[in-house]
Homo-oligomer: A and B are copies of this chain.
Amino acid sequence: MLAPLRVGIAGLGTVGGSVLRRLVAQRALLAQRTGRDITVTAVSARDRAKPRDLDLADLHWFDDPVAMAKSDEIDLFVELIGGSEGPAKAAVEAALQSGKPVVTANKALLAHHGMALARLAEERHAALAFEASVAGGIPIVKTLREGLAGNQVERVQGILNGTCNYILTRMEDEGLAFADCLAEAQRLGYAEADPTFDVDGFDTAHKLAILATLAFGVALDIESLHIEGIRAITPADLKAADELGYRIKLLGIAQRVGTRIDGRVHPTMVPKTSALAQVGGVINAVTVFADAVRELTLIGPGAGGEATASAVVADVADIARGVRSAPLGLPVAVLEQADTLPLRDHAGGYYIRLSVRDTPGAVAAIAARMAERSISFESVVQRHPPRRDPGSSGTVPVVLVTYRTVESALQTALDAVVADGYIAEAPQVIRIERE
Identify the A interface with B (CB < 8 A): 18, 22-23, 26, 29-30, 32-35, 131, 137-139, 142-143, 145-152, 217, 273, 275, 278, 290-301, 306-307, 309-310, 312-314, 316-318, 321-326, 329-331, 334
A137–B314 Cα distance when bound, in Å, is 21
The answer to whether A297 touches B296 (Cβ under 8 A) is no
Cross-interface CB contact of A296 among B33, B34, B298, B309, cutoff 8 Å: B298
The answer to whether B324 touches A150 (Cβ under 8 A) is no
The answer to whether A299 touches B297 (Cβ under 8 A) is yes
The answer to whether B149 touches A33 (Cβ under 8 A) is yes
The answer to whether B310 touches A150 (Cβ under 8 A) is yes
What are 10 A-B pairs with beta-carbon distances under 8 A?
Answer: A18-B292, A32-B326, A137-B292, A137-B294, A139-B146, A142-B146, A149-B314, A151-B310, A275-B278, A297-B297
* Copies of this chain: 2
Which of A149, A322, A323, A329: most chain B CB closer than 10 A?
Answer: A149
Instruction: List residues of chain B with CB within 8 A of the CB of A297.
Output: 297-300
The answer to whether B138 touches A142 (Cβ under 8 A) is no
Cross-interface CB contact of A275 among B138, B148, B299, B316, cutoff 8 Å: B299
Using A30-B150, A299-B275, A329-B33 as known contacts, say yes or no to A307 and B334 having CB atoms under 8 A apart: no
A333 to chain B, nearest CB (A): 10
Main secondary structure of the interface of A (DSSP, over half): mixed
A41 to chain B, nearest CB (A): 18
A331–B29 Cα distance when bound, in Å, is 11
Using A34-B149, A318-B146, A321-B325 as known contacts, say yes or no to A295 and B301 having CB atoms under 8 A apart: yes
